[in-house]
Structure 1
């Protein structure tokens, strides 16, 4: 590394045609600059500069050596510019990890932003099993629900209400619409779960009376894939507790019907997770803001103010 430093000093001396001028530019003393040049010549065993009281001239070896030193300095300058641009404009590849259930939201959330930045590439890694951000070289991960303790840095994007849903055909076959959670005990239940525990335990609150009701169920169908649970629900195979932002379109179209709207069934936190707390490149900073803005405009999502 010391050799690289001396090569940069040598290039500056040549370009400034003076050790004193080079010293001023490098914020060094002229004697320190001279010492670095002498050390270069001593290590190489050749003379690089002819010195006189009035001027410096390059030897033939010095001329060839300067060309390589100048190229090295230019490459370093381009590397620094590349890093600066990384902090200013989205560019390069953004590796974004999301749950598979984010499929329906990916293009609406990110498409317009991606189109506005031609130098930006997106690699979308969709998996319901949380992956190791460092091992998978992930720049940003989207997570839902309670986060496990980890060294990752999480930024809150919003909260989505959870709503109990059924299809119109299921309600027709069932013969009536449930009016209280106590009526759900014997109803086929569809559940999202990533562990082997099949028993589900809910504690719900009534909006107006404050009444609490604990519900324990054995689901008929369990999946680790959020959209699979929704599809089974829309097919009339049972009822499911789903995220409001996922089912907004289905509720509006009539494919699903919300049950027990007067009961608070909890909120699902939405997180943007990075592996580091250090300064983030522009592609990650902007992606977080784009995702926050997207979720803020979805039905059933409480937005979170961005922190600077």
Structure 2
């Protein structure tokens, strides 16, 4: 490593044609620069420079050696420019992980960012499982709800409303609930859990509160599948406002007990590291945040 530093000092001396000028450029004393050159010559057992009181002249070996030292310095400068560019402007490959149900939001959320920065590419990994960000080399993950303990860094992007939903066909067949207690007699679709019932917290008018223990008839680890089964009339489900706007507007789903609220769901941007985030990650987090806050039912 010391030899690399001495090679950089040697290249600066040749470019500046003076040890004193190179010393000023490098922030060193002239004697320190001279000492680095002597050590470089001793380690290689060769003379690189002829010195006089007026000028420095390269030896034949020095000319050949300088060409390689200059190439090394230029490569290091290019690497520094690449680091600076990654800090200042989005570029390179952005590796994004998102749940299946959120995948359809990626294009409208990040489309403008990708259009504005042609040097930026996107690799989207869609998976409902909480994958290891380090092992999968993920730059940014979108996660929902309560996060497990980890060393990763999470920033809350927003939270969105959760609504009780059913299809009109299901309600015609099974009746429409008018009180929270009515929900106990209905078929339920729930997100798969290891064990235990589904606990539904409801807040109603005049600060009323209910906690219901429900046994789902159908469970899945995929929220989009639950939404499709709910629209098909297989039962009631708790759906995110971010996901069901199209189904509500088209009449495939309707809200049940709209005066009773379910606690909202947090949306997180999760990254493997806190410091020195590249521009591609910082800009992507901002784009996701701005997009989400413009959606109905999102705060």
Instruction: Name the TM-score, length of structure 1 as normaliser.
Output: 0.95
Confirm or deny that 1:254 pairs with 2:278: no
Residue 301 of structure 1: aligned partner: 298
Residue 305 of structure 1: aligned partner: none
CA contact (8 A) 1:198 1:219 kept: no
Confirm or deny that 1:148 pairs with 2:148: yes
Per-residue CA distance 1:1-27 (angstroms, 9 max, x = gap): 101100000000011111111111111
**Unaligned regions of 5+ residues in structure 2, if any?**
none
Deviation of 1:196 (Å): 2.0
Residue 216 of structure 2: aligned partner: 219
Deviation of 1:104 (Å): 2.1
Deviation of 1:116 (Å): 2.2
Deviation of 1:210 (Å): 1.3
> How many residues are paired up?
299
Confirm or deny that 1:235 pairs with 2:232: yes
Confirm or deny that 1:4 pairs with 2:4: yes
Residue 37 of structure 1: aligned partner: 37
Q: CA RMSD in A?
A: 1.0
Residue 159 of structure 2: aligned partner: 159
Distance 2:237 2:29 in 1: 75
Residue 263 of structure 2: aligned partner: 266
Deviation of 1:134 (Å): 0.9
CA contact (8 A) 1:198 1:222 kept: no
Distance 1:214 1:266 in 2: 11
Secondary structure of the residue aligned to 1:301 is coil
Structural mapping, 1:1-308, within 5 Å: 1-174=1-174, 176-193=175-192, 195-206=193-204, 208-302=205-299
Deviation of 1:254 (Å): 1.1
CA contact (8 A) 1:155 1:273 kept: yes
Secondary structure of the residue aligned to 1:215 is strand
The runs of 4+ residues in structure 1 deviating greater than 3 Å are: none
Instruction: Name the TM-score, length of structure 2 as normaliser.
Output: 0.98
Deviation of 1:198 (Å): 4.8
Deviation of 1:230 (Å): 0.2
Deviation of 1:199 (Å): 1.2
